[in-house]
Amino acid sequence: MSASRHRVVVTQRFFDEATIAYLEDNGCEVAIVDLAPGTADGDLSHDQLVHLLADADGWIVGHARVTRALLEALPRLQIISRRGVGYERVDLDAARDLGRVVAIGAGGNDASVADHTIGMMLAIAKRLRESQANMQAGKWSILTGSDLYEKTVGVIGLGRIGKSLVKRLGGFDARVLAVTADPDPAYAAATGVEYVDLDRLLAESDYISLHAPLTAETRYLINAEALARMKPGAILINAARGGLVQDADLLEALRSGHLAGAGLDVFVSESDPAFMEVTNALLALPNVVATPHAAASSREGLNRTNRIAAESVVAVLSGGEPAPGCVVADGRTGR
């Protein structure tokens, strides 16, 4: 590598050729880490990451934990750019203290996750998993499901993905209730969204979809108490973060028949293996539709987030600024 070129390490699968070419055309040498089948960068140890990133100027990362110790071991690393929008696995204070930039792929996967959420709602309401299993067993009797049309949908978290979901729900003539930290009266007037408190959303919603970040305040937001306050027969969707829902409590609410079903793209067991037994019990239920943290992983969505992550890397390594909304920590400025 010439002295004028920056080394960018990618610890993600499905990194497209067009984005690699973009990085190379902008003065970067790209190294794609060959992850073992069935593993992700979150499975790499501290020592493995240090070895892979020792001479990296930029890192395009998935779910690896970015700790203070790791950053201290990588003095050359200038930017950590997530191909995604969550950043709870990154020590932002350490990044600021050590002069690094942390960026996210803001806006790249909104449509993909919103589409996935609608798909889960329909799959559960129409009992698609149960119907196919019955047919495979030779039972062709009809299972009656329910509609999304004209139902009340509660959206918890009204950022980019939440708003993308609201746009799609308009095609179902759904009534939308929302809990958000930043109510926008103009947006509500334009879309018909009603801002409510959590108690009312739980009590009135036929479907509840989570799109909030995982913080100390939102951890286990949906627990046994909240589930008991949900409308009998409601459907819960979590395509945001494992840890927003206390999965053990959800399992009991589903087993009791209080809820009609759940669509789950994320699980507590992703960060706490002690919950794997609960996850497996949820997967075994006929009224649960599950995916392995894949809501954002459409070909189109991955290509968009690849490009946004790469653009942030190029901007920082050339002394510039990433696009608005992408920077979550900037140790160059202390923000």
- CATH, residue 48: 3.40.50.720
User: Would 241 be classed as within a structural domain?
Assistant: yes
Is residue 264 located within the same domain as residue 321? no
Is residue 99 located within the same domain as residue 55? yes
Is residue 114 located within the same domain as residue 228? yes
pLDDT above 50 (res 2)? no
Is residue 99 located within the same domain as residue 133? no
Closest residue by Cα to residue 212 from 251, 158, 148: 158
At residue 210, what are phi and psi to the nearest 5 degrees?
A: -95, 130
Is residue 221 located within the same domain as residue 282? yes
Is residue 51 located within the same domain as residue 14? yes
Looking at the annotation, which residues are catalytic?
241, 270, 293
User: Would 78 be classed as within a structural domain?
Assistant: yes
Is residue 91 located within the same domain as residue 179? no
Is residue 94 located within the same domain as residue 167? no
Is residue 151 located within the same domain as residue 243? yes
pLDDT tens-digit series, residues 260-288 = 999 999 999 998 999 999 999 999 999 99
pLDDT of residue 38: 85
Give the Cα separation of 50 and 172 in Å (integer): 49
User: Would 225 be classed as within a structural domain?
Assistant: yes
Give the Cα separation of 263 and 239 in Å (integer): 8
User: Would 39 be classed as within a structural domain?
Assistant: yes
User: Would 305 be classed as within a structural domain?
Assistant: yes
pLDDT of residue 324: 85
User: Would 335 be classed as within a structural domain?
Assistant: no
Is residue 104 located within the same domain as residue 152? no
User: Would 195 be classed as within a structural domain?
Assistant: yes
pLDDT above 60 (res 1)? no
pLDDT of residue 32: 97
Is residue 19 located within the same domain as residue 91? yes
Note the pTM of the prediction, 2 decimals.
0.89
| Count of domains for the chain | 2
Domain span holding position 317: 6-108+298-330
Q: How far is CA 5 from CA 9, 12, 30, 174, 329, in A?
A: 13, 21, 10, 52, 24
pLDDT of residue 206: 98
Is residue 161 located within the same domain as residue 269? yes
pLDDT above 90 (res 335)? no
User: Would 1 be classed as within a structural domain?
Assistant: no
